[in-house]
Structure formats: structure tokens, C-alpha cells
Structure 1
């Protein structure tokens, strides 16, 4: 049964909440396993080897952007997928992936020469096999997401990454395999995920080489263009840093970037996928789309701003604890990148809205703008070293976020005042917690970095919890009131006791 044929009485918010829950479990598991393996691998491998892998991922991300970006989004956006379209997408995605893999293999000597990193060519040549593997998995992932089968997607991603990176990669690194301790697990992870999602979605019935749905073809072209531009924007830091600062500089920047990406994937990619899938199902119901967009932005923006500021403040203990003393040069880079977190995470909300409305061409155009902004920011900042590159990237993210929100407002019925109120409130809430955090760190600084930052983080959490619990409804707005009451309702269900002094209301 098509998940989009569910009874009209089902709550969209509840469905999306379930989806977010499952994907958050997966993202949290991936983040924790990734952190655990990174802690070990950072002590077994050098910045140069991580820099080599970062150069390889530039090529792999290009293949993934063209295959997953081209086929997954149009599938999710379709209100109906018949057998012919399903079979054709599986068939053509596999062919497309094989062609891209062959082209990447042929270009591997040129890529190695561009980065001027000795010993890069053979690991890169081996790694390009991941491109067709990911292409074969992309249609299955799209179909599962479209049908709100988030559990299968979560389990596949979690099991494949834990097996490959938390077990195989550490074992190979301990045995002295060098860069191959990162390349081989990447291939194993892609293969494992393909098997799991393929089994969950079911194999294609037959080979179909042609797609007759012209709207799908148009959306595919726009999605490929958007994916290509998005790859350019996301990969340009690695390209510029690798070219200008070498493997060691790229290794330092990539570790900082990996923490930034991990935070983004954990919190924002989950919401982006669920919102896109859910909004696509009700894309013609303007009132519900507006309500959901406003609610998600109102609830998530304060969380994202708080997380970004908190991570930036505590970059030093994060690097010291996770990676060790050989990575201390990455601390200022990490701090600056985390300041871009809330802008990066929040623009995914507005872009999901545009995708759900089928505005693929508009999204592709904004990805071009994103690429230009990021490239200019990186080049302007590059004379100032790695911190300058990170600063240019952060500035570009925030400019793009403003553009994205302005575009989203045209698709929903929201006033300028309501948009401004959401942002002012988010900055105010995060600012209160950040002030308490910094004040406590300064007060405890004589006791060392670990104790002072630990006390500061606790102050941030406590102040925000008290603030959100006690602020009057008229100040935090109806959407945060809704979220607060839902949280208190869950507390009551689990403990049997309502939160003292606050009403417990069930709101759909």
C-alpha cells in the first residue's frame, strides 16, 4: 500500500515526527559511531592521510550528487510511481552510475596531479567503484523515503557504517594500512547499504531503458543540475585548501569540516529529508504547508542557533578530547565553521519547501548562487590561511540563508513580521545561553580548560531549560508553545506526573 494513501485523519505532524525520530536515531548512531572511530583513527593516522581521503571524497561526492541527487528527489516528489517508472529509474540509475564510475577512473591521474599529492592515484582509482554502487542504491532509498519507511533507511545506514568504519577501518589502521584503512571501509559501507536498502525496497522487475514521464525527466535534469552545483559548493573548500595548503593543511581542515558536517547531518539532514517527503504528500494544501513550514522553522531555528554557538564556544575541548594534541591547529578553524552551522541547517528547511513544491529549477539556480558565494568567500579568505578560508565559508552560508528564506516566503503565506519575529526570538534565546556559557568559562578559567568548558556547557543547558520553561506564551509564540506542551505531555506520559506549574495539553 502506498504510504500516501493513508487516511486523511492521520496527522502530518505526527507522521513527520515519527520520521524525524527514526532518522534522528540513525543520525545519532552514525554520529556516535563516527566520533568513536574518529577518536581512534586520529591517533593511528596522520593529517596527511586524512587529507588524501578528503581529496578522494571530492570525486566520490560528485558521483553521489549526480546519482542520488538526480534520482532520489524526483521519486520522493512524485504523488504516484507506477511499475514502469520504478523499473526505469532502477535501470537508468545503474547505467548512469557505471558511466560516471568509468569517467572518474579515467580522470583519476588528472585529479591526483591537480592536488599535487603523492600516492593519491591508486587509492582514488580503487575508490571510484563506490560511485556505481551508490547509484544502484539511490532509487531504493528514494522509494523508501517516499513511502515514509524511515526505519529501513536508518537501519541500512547505521549497520553499514558501524561495520565498515567502527570495525574494519580501525583494524586496518592498527595494522598499518595507511590511506587504505579509509578507502577499503568506504567501499564496504557502500556495498552493505546497497544490499540492505535493495532488500527492503525490492529489486526491479525488469530492465526498462526509457522514462516516458516528461515531468520526471524535467525534474531529473533540474535535480542533476542542483546536485552538481551543490557538489561544487560543498567540495570547493577541499579543492581550494588541498590545492593551496597541501595534504597536511587539507587534513586539518577536513577534520574540522568533518565535525561541522557531522553536526549538520545529525540535526538538519534528517529534518530536510522528512520535511521534503511529508510536504510533497500535501503540496497542494497551502494552509497545511504554511503551518508546517512556520512550525518547523519556529521550533528548529532556536535549537540550531544554540547548537552552533555552543559548538563554536567549545571547539577547544572538542578537538582536544576527540583528536588529541596533534590536531590543535584545527581548533580556530573548527570554531569558525561551527558559527555557520545554524545558517546551513536552517536553509535546508526552506529548500525542502521549494523541492516539495516541485521548484527544482529554482533550487538549481540557488545552488549556482551558493557555489558562487562559497567560492568567492573561500578565495577572499584564503590569503589569511585556514581560518580565513573558514571565515569566508561562514559568511557565504549566512548570505545564502537570507536568500533562501526570502524565496520560501513567496511559497507560503507568512508576513515579514512573523519571519522577523522567529529570527529575533531564536537569537535572543541562544544569546542568553551563550552569555551564561562564556561567563562561566571565564570565571572557571583558572581551573583549566576541561573544568571551565564543562561548567560552561552545563550553564548553557540549565539557563536555556529554565528560560524555555518559564517564558510566557506570548513571548515565545504559539509554535514554541505547541512544542513545549508536546514535550511536557511526553514527560507526563513517561513519569505519570505533570510538570509543576505548567499545563499539559495534547496538540496535533
Structure 2
């Protein structure tokens, strides 16, 4: 039993009764969360495609700086204690009031500090236009943390349909704020105010959907254990944000805000696998893995299934992004952003590796190994900073992308492989076997799609033909594994069975025909 589980109030359950229920609830939650992420992501792509034709690259670069500052500060706004509410092996009703008090007080202090430091931070990056966006995003810190406990309650209950509804409502309010303001004020400020509007809408929707709302309270006996559990996770999240955003800081110091704008666009596109899967993992992995641990389930096979599931979705997105970076940017965002295409091709691989890292982060938190997560992130940061500094000087934006990939392959993934093995028994062999088929299928699909579109000049035609050809090739290789991702009722639908297993059936028919009447033997 871990230190956190011994110190914080726990709950008991019947493993046999909980197993099937947990699997059903987790799958339902994953589908809702995936739908939410996909709908919101595609909607954001549409809005960003419109905004990219209004704002300049320099304005997006300023917003990137402000958003990086917000990401760092937000890590300590709740001190990581809300994760305790999401764990099914802990008593949320006893912890809720104390967690609420900690998050409310800390968020106000942290946000005020962020607003006061906006001027010096902007001056350090020679970007005075960033002062107001930073201060606006300080308001977002308070809003997000005030809804953090309700979000953890929804996560715990696997009520991801509420999160879906909240995200859609938040997107509507955020977009309705962004597009008009982008034509009237500085683009970075318009983006920041849209985050305020979206955060308010999401928070209110979640709070109003809860059956139980925790009022501020205080039980001193829980504060120490909560902080011992949460602070390493918060520091780990901070280090994760540093790993994620240190490139923004380095580019901001070494290059122009326009270059930073190009890089941010490419980086956001490369994280499409995370957009599709990150929300699912954040909402489902923590409660599901903690429940498997509580019930003494098979963690090794659970890790294998989780890695395979992530790879089946992330690898084809990364392969397509790598192969069609130029037509993708030109079609969606316009020709003035084509400078971002070369670095996007490099960052496509980073997007796949990053989403796997998020999965491992969640497994570490669910296993109570927050110190391990901290050590991994600290090690990565120490290695990453000099690599990125050399990369930006030698290769500009592309050099930064290559630096990210080298750091992940040389440090992050080996470190996580060791940590995951110790926590769950799933070693590097288990992880590589789960990854191999989706990765090879994605490479094959991207290669065939490139060959099929070689003679096309229209970027939209390239995307359409390449996407269709790549999809057919990918499904032909991993179809049966894809079919396993669907719930039972959908997986039994004839159209899905035919779409995902036709290559196997065709091969079987050919073998039977060869045995029955081999023409070369007649």
C-alpha cells in the first residue's frame, strides 16, 4: 500500500462486482470524452482557420508567450490536490471540502502574482504587447481552478457526457468572443479574452450538473497527506509544462515573434493526436487504473491495451501530418503560414511520442508514483534545454523540432519504460509489441498516400486523395485491432466488420481458391 493510500481516507469495493461495471463505465466515458475532444478540436481548427486570415504571425507569437506563462502558473494554482478527488480508491466526500479550500485560496494568490509579474516577464522577452494578455490569462487561472474540483467529480463518476456538453458550450462562447474581438483589438488579447469566456461557460456548466457540491471546509489531518500526494504531481506538471513550453521561451529569446507564431501554429497541429486522445486519458486513465490497482487486476495487460489503443489513433494522425504538412497548412490556414510547414513535418513524430508520454504520466499518477513522474520530467528538462538551444542556433525552427524528438527518444521513453515496469510489470517489450503494428501500418499508409498523390498540384486534392488512400491502407493492416475499440453493439454491426476485416476475408478467400483449384497446377 502506498503512503498516500495509507494516509488519506479510502473506500472499499467488491472486485467481482466492480470489474464489469468499471469496464463499461470506462468505455462509455472514453467514448464521450473522445467525442468531445474530436468535436471541439475540429471546431477549433475551423475557428483558427478563420482567425489565421485575420491576425498576423507576430500576434500569434505574442499570445504563445502569454499562454506559456499561464501554463507554468496554472500548475501551482491547485497544488495538484484535485487529483485525489478523481481517485476511486479515496473517499471524495471527506476530502472534498478541504480540497476546495486549498484550491480557492491558492488560485487567488497565484493569479495575483502572475498579474503583478506580467510587466517584467514581457520585458524579458522584449514583447511589451504581452503584458495585457498575461494579465487577462491570470483571470483564467482563477476560473479554471474554481471548476477543478467539479471537473474531478465528473471524472470520478465517469460522467463524461457532462464534460462533452461543457466543452461544446465553452467552445461556442469562446469563439463568439474571439472572432469579433480579433478584428477590433490586438490578436493576442482577443485570444486571451476568448479563454476567459470559454472558462466561465465550462465551469458553470459543470457546477450546475453536479448532484453534490463541496463547500469550503477544513480538516487539518488531510492537508499534509494531500500536499504530499499533490505537490509532487504539481511540480511534475510544472516540469511537464517547462518541457512543453521551454521551446517557446528559447525561440522567443532567439528569434522574432513572427517566427514564434509560425512555430506555435505548427506545434498546435502536431498535437492533434493529443487533442483526440489527451482528454480521454486525462478523464479515464486515472480512475480506471486506480480501480484496477485497488482490485488487484492485471496491470501488465492493462498497460498493453492502453498503449495499443493510443497508438492505433495517434500513429495514423502523425503519419498523415508528416506526409502532407504543406498542403494541410495551405488549405486550412492560408499561404502566409507556409513557413510553418517544414517544422510541422518534423514535429509530427513528436506529437505521437508526446501523447504516449501523457498516457505514462497518467499511469504514474494513478499508481501513486508522483515522485517518479517528477524525476523523469526533471531529467528530461535538464537534457532538453541545451539540445533546443543548439537546435535553434543550428537549424532554426526545424532544429527545435529535431531537438524535441531526440530528447524524447534518448531520455523520456527509456525513463518511462523503467518506471512503468516497476509500477505495473509491463516492460519495454510489452510497450514495443503494442506499438509495432500501428506504427508500421501508419508508415506504410503515409508512403502509399504520398506515391498516390505525387502528380497532384491542388493542395485540397492532395489532402482528399491522400487521406482516402492512407485510410484504406491503414485499415487493411490494423482493421481487426481497430474493431476492438468499438463497444460490443457497434462492433457487431456488419458494415464495421466488413470495413475493418475485408483484407483478412479476401486473403482467406484467395487461399481457399488456391487450394480448391490452383491454376498453376492444372
Q: CA deviation at 1:75?
A: 2.4
Cα separation, partners in 2 of 1:64 and 1:249, compared to 1, 3 Å: same
Aligned residues: 488
Return the alpha-carbon distance in structure 2 between the equivalents of residues 319 and 304 of structure 1. 19
Q: CA deviation at 1:37?
A: 0.9
**Aligned equivalent of 2:520:** none
Q: How does 1:288-303 map to 2 (within 5 A)?
A: 288-303=298-313
SS at structure 2 position matched to 1:44: coil
SS at structure 2 position matched to 1:80: coil
Return the alpha-carbon distance in structure 2 between the equivalents of residues 3 and 325 of structure 1. 57
> Does residue 1:79 correspond to 2:79, yes or no?
no
Conserved 8 A contact 2:115-2:138:
yes
> Does residue 1:381 correspond to 2:381, yes or no?
no
Residue among 194, 197, 211 paired with 1:188 = 197
**Aligned equivalent of 2:206:** 197
Residue among 235, 239, 243 paired with 2:249 = 239
Q: CA deviation at 1:11?
A: 4.4
Return the alpha-carbon distance in structure 1 between the equivalents of residues 13 and 159 of structure 2. 14
> Does residue 1:53 correspond to 2:33, yes or no?
no
**Aligned equivalent of 1:413:** 425
Residue among 442, 458, 468 paired with 1:430 = 442
Residue among 81, 86, 97 paired with 2:107 = 97
Return the alpha-carbon distance in structure 1 between the equivalents of residues 153 and 182 of structure 2. 36
What are the Cα deviations for residues 380-436 of structure 1, in whole angstroms up to 9, with x where unaligned? 201121111121122223331232123212222346544443333333222221221
Q: How does 1:253-268 map to 2 (within 5 A)?
A: 253-268=263-278
Return the alpha-carbon distance in structure 2 between the equivalents of residues 468 and 261 of structure 1. 23
Return the alpha-carbon distance in structure 2 between the equivalents of residues 138 and 488 of structure 1. 30
Cα separation, partners in 2 of 1:21 and 1:492, compared to 1, 3 Å: closer
Residue among 392, 400, 404 paired with 2:403 = 392
Return the alpha-carbon distance in structure 1 between the equivalents of residues 341 and 148 of structure 2. 36
**Aligned equivalent of 1:370:** 380
Return the alpha-carbon distance in structure 2 between the equivalents of residues 262 and 431 of structure 1. 17
Q: CA deviation at 1:4?
A: 8.5
Q: How does 1:320-469 map to 2 (within 5 A)?
A: 320-383=330-393, 384-399=395-410, 400-414=412-426, 417-442=429-454, 444-445=455-456, 447-469=457-479
Return the alpha-carbon distance in structure 1 between the equivalents of residues 215 and 85 of structure 2. 17
Q: CA deviation at 1:223?
A: 1.3
Conserved 8 A contact 2:79-2:231:
no
Conserved 8 A contact 2:357-2:413:
yes
SS at structure 2 position matched to 1:283: helix
Cα separation, partners in 2 of 1:246 and 1:315, compared to 1, 3 Å: same
**Aligned equivalent of 1:18:** 28
The gaps in structure 2 that reach 5 residues or longer are 1-9, 506-522
Q: CA deviation at 1:340?
A: 0.9
Residue among 24, 42, 62 paired with 2:52 = 42
Conserved 8 A contact 2:34-2:279:
no
SS at structure 1 position matched to 2:117: helix
Return the alpha-carbon distance in structure 1 between the equivalents of residues 379 and 162 of structure 2. 35
Cα separation, partners in 2 of 1:172 and 1:267, compared to 1, 3 Å: same
SS at structure 1 position matched to 2:193: helix
Return the alpha-carbon distance in structure 2 between the equivalents of residues 424 and 126 of structure 1. 44
Return the alpha-carbon distance in structure 1 between the equivalents of residues 385 and 177 of structure 2. 36
Q: How does 1:117-196 map to 2 (within 5 A)?
A: 117-164=127-174, 166-176=175-185, 178-196=187-205
Q: CA RMSD in A?
A: 2.7
Conserved 8 A contact 1:70-1:220:
yes
Q: CA deviation at 1:21?
A: 0.6
Cα separation, partners in 2 of 1:89 and 1:462, compared to 1, 3 Å: same
TM-score by length of 2: 0.86
**Aligned equivalent of 2:315:** 305
What are the Cα deviations for residues 342-393 of structure 1, in whole angstroms up to 9, with x where unaligned? 1111122222222111111111111112322332331120112111112112
Q: CA deviation at 1:212?
A: 2.2
What are the Cα deviations for residues 446-492 of structure 1, in whole angstroms up to 9, with x where unaligned? x44443343222211111122234xxxxxxxxxx65x5356595456
Conserved 8 A contact 1:33-1:162:
no
SS at structure 1 position matched to 2:424: coil
What are the Cα deviations for residues 12-71 of structure 1, in whole angstroms up to 9, with x where unaligned? 333221111111111112101211110111111111111111111122112222235612
What are the Cα deviations for residues 118-139 of structure 1, in whole angstroms up to 9, with x where unaligned? 3322332233111122221112
Return the alpha-carbon distance in structure 2 between the equivalents of residues 3 and 317 of structure 1. 53
